[in-house]
Amino acid sequence: MRSEEETNQAVERYGDTVRRLCMIHLKNEADTQDIFQTVFLKYLLHDKPFESGEHEKAWFIRVTLNACKDLLRSFFSRNTVPLEQLTGQADQLTGQGREVLATVLALPQKERQVVYLHYYEGYTAPELSRLLGKNVNTIYTTLARARAHLRETLGGEDHG
């Protein structure tokens, strides 16, 4: 079991990443809080050492995505929340920011995930392929589709 110092550091270091991943999957504050705690509880009990900070971060991403998927699998049909209710989770954003976020969140789930991990976390397609356990070509395709969808709404050029 990890010490209080370790878990507190992890909450500070990876809290934002976990929160954002939850948001692009869950769209609901209560579920986000649940998954957020679940992920760090798993970390508390995960005794194996990590090879590096990158390794640790990848572990958090994988665990968060799996936890979200588990939750969606059991609650999806009953608990889908309309996009409009999302505002509660994005209070920090300005008007334009909200529009961008709404656009990203309107993408199919697979695309949302790679958009966040690629654009924000900076993972390349081969890295995403390892992280998500998918074929690298599938990742390229998903990314391309996501870009096309985003461009339709947001316009402008992308550099990814």
Partner 1 sequence: MDEQIREVFGQLHAGEAMKENTKAALDRARNRRRRPVGYLAVAAACLVLLLAGLGGYRYYFTPTTYLSVDINPSLELGVNRFDKVVSVRAWNEDGQELVDSLELNLLDYQEALERLVASESIADRLAAGELLSITVAGENEAQCGRLLAGAEACTAGQENVRCHQGDVEELEQAHHAGLSLGKYQAFLELQALDPTVTAEDVAGLTMRQIRDWIGSLSQDADSQGKGNGQGHHGEESHGYRFGQS
Q: Does 86 bind partner 1 (CB under 8 A)?
A: no
Amino acid at 147: R
List 58, 72, 81, 90, residue binding partner 1 (CB under 8 A)? 90
**122 conformational bin, left if phi > 0, alpha if psi -120 to 50, beta if neither:** left
Of 52-60, 71-79, 98-106, 131-139, the window that binds partner 1 (rule: CB under 8 A) is: 98-106
Q: Which DSSP helix (H) or strand (E) runs through 108?
A: none
Among residues 7, 129, 138, 141, the one that binds partner 1 under rule CB under 8 A? 7
Three-point CA angle 140, 141, 145, nearest 5°: 120
Instruction: Please report whether residue 9 would count as binding partner 1 according to CB under 8 A.
Output: no
Distances in whole angstroms, Cα of residue 63 to Cα of each of 39, 56, 90 = 6, 11, 23
Using CB under 8 A as the criterion, which residues of the chain lie in contact with partner 1 when the complex forms?
1, 4, 7-8, 11-12, 15-16, 18-20, 23, 32-33, 36-37, 40-41, 44, 90, 92-94, 96-97, 100-101, 104, 115-116, 119-120, 147, 150-151, 154-160
